[in-house]
Amino acid sequence: MKLFTIVKQNSSRVNHKNFQTICSDIPLWKWTVNRLISDKYELYINTDSNTVFDEVLDMSNVYGISRNNKHIEWEKNSENEGSPVESMLIEFCKNDSISSSEVICLFHVTSPFINLKTIEQASKYLNDGYDSVQSVKRIQDFVFKMEDEKMIPVNYDPFKVQRTQDILPVYMSLGAFFISTKQKILEEGKRLPGKVFNYELDSVSSIEIDYPDDLQLARYVASNMVEYD
């Protein structure tokens, strides 16, 4: 298996998000990568940051990939269709040194509490008839959407009192990781090809940093972790 991620210098919702410190003055990108470094797997970081490139030189089994200028421009323009991250993944998979059967795990450094054990357990579903695996969060509560200022129930009957444990659960796709093989990714040109298995993460592993309050939560959890993994 090869691990692949992206780290960009600038962010919009949280300024310099990937370089915000999490715990012990460790920047977010390095905190997450450090949790996944292993002698077993090569880890690749696609980045436009010279800082990341410099630090990767001192990290074992970690390699930097210079971001293609088309992806830098793509990320700057939110009106462009498609996903630059998915495009970077496909570009990575086209590397001739990677065998077609190689398992590829795209992970995001903005999910700071994922670990190798979880990724390895999730990847086993590729041997059980699934073509890809995505990380998800299970929500078993009253979920609704708003349409024209009206509440539209998603998973419950508004005219019936129910216990939350009896409600049909819904699932939220997370960016923690997406796992498939090089062959499947290139065949369909997407990060989740074929039959997808939804791998549930617990409340800590499912923390994603998208907004400032997410960052504060992650800092609190990280500073109070005794032995989570």
Domain parsing of the chain, residue ranges: 2-136+172-223
What's residue 216's pLDDT? 95
Report the DSSP beta bridge partners of residue 153: 144
pLDDT at 226 over 60: no
Architecture of domain 2-136+172-223: Alpha-Beta Complex (3.90)
Contact 184, 193 (CB under 8 A): yes
pLDDT of residue 40: 96
Pairwise CA distance, residues 29 & 24, whole Å: 13
**pLDDT tens digits, 35-44:** 999 999 999 9
Paired tokens of 35: 């949790």
Kindly give, in sequence order, each residue whose CB lies less than 8 Å from that of residue 145, ignoring residues fewer than 6 positions away.
151, 152, 154
- The structure's pTM equals 0.92
Model confidence band, residue 228 (pLDDT cutoffs 50, 70, 90)? very low
The pLDDT mean for the chain works out to: 93
pLDDT above 90 coverage of the chain, percent: 84
